[in-house]
Structures are given as C-alpha cells and as structure tokens.
C-alpha cells in the first residue's frame, strides 16, 4: 500500500506541475538540463524509472487518469 501511495503522490505532484515537468524533461532530452533541485530530481527519476513518455499525453488530466493506481477497495458494510 505504501508503494501505491508514493506512486500516486508523484503522479499528483507531476500533474500539478505538468508544464514545468514537461519542459524539464524536454531540456534533458536536448542535453540542456544543467541543474535540478532535490524535488525536481525526484520527479525526473520517477518519470525515467517508470518509462513515462510525457509527450504522449494530451494534457495533465490524461496523464493523471492513466497513471493513478487504485488504493484498494472498501467494504461498504464494514467500512474497511
């Protein structure tokens, strides 16, 4: 469950910073990325480790919808 939570947290961060992250990845591909801070490094590593091609998504919403993982199910009768 913790891995799914972390995955989804990165998806939400990238979605919320969509244009910035796309520009950063594009600069890397062109050999123009010089420095990144710790948070940017985490986003970048996540995108690379998960073989995500951001240019294949129409927008942040599509990226979000296709990459969020379900946290599990809740039994309505017990709430668990």
Domains in the chain, number? 1
> Does 9 map to a domain?
yes
Question: Quick check: 10 and 46 in contact, CB under 8 A?
Answer: yes
> Does 59 map to a domain?
yes
* Domain assignment of residue 63, given as a range: 2-67
> Does 12 map to a domain?
yes
> Does 77 map to a domain?
no
> Does 76 map to a domain?
no
Residue 72's alpha-carbon distances to 4, 6, 64, 65, 77, in angstroms, are 10, 14, 17, 16, 15
What's the rounded mean pLDDT across residues 45-72? 93
Query: What was the pLDDT predicted at 32?
Result: 93
pLDDT(1) > 90: no
Query: What was the pLDDT predicted at 71?
Result: 79
Q: What confidence tens digit (pLDDT) does each residue in 12-58 have?
A: 999 999 999 999 999 988 999 889 999 999 998 999 999 999 999 99
pTM, 2 dp: 0.81
How many helices (H) and strands (E) would you count in the chain?
Answer: 4, 0
């Amino acid at each position: 469950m913790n891995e799914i939570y972390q995955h989804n947290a990165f998806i939400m961060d990238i979605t919320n910073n969509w244009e910035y992250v796309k520009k950063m990845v594009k600069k890397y591909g062109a050999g123009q990325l010089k420095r990144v801070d710790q948070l940017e490094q985490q986003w970048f590593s996540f995108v690379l480790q998960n073989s995500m091609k951001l240019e294949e998504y129409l927008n942040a919403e599509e990226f979000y919808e296709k990459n969020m993982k379900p946290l599990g199910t809740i039994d309505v009768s017990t709430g668990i």
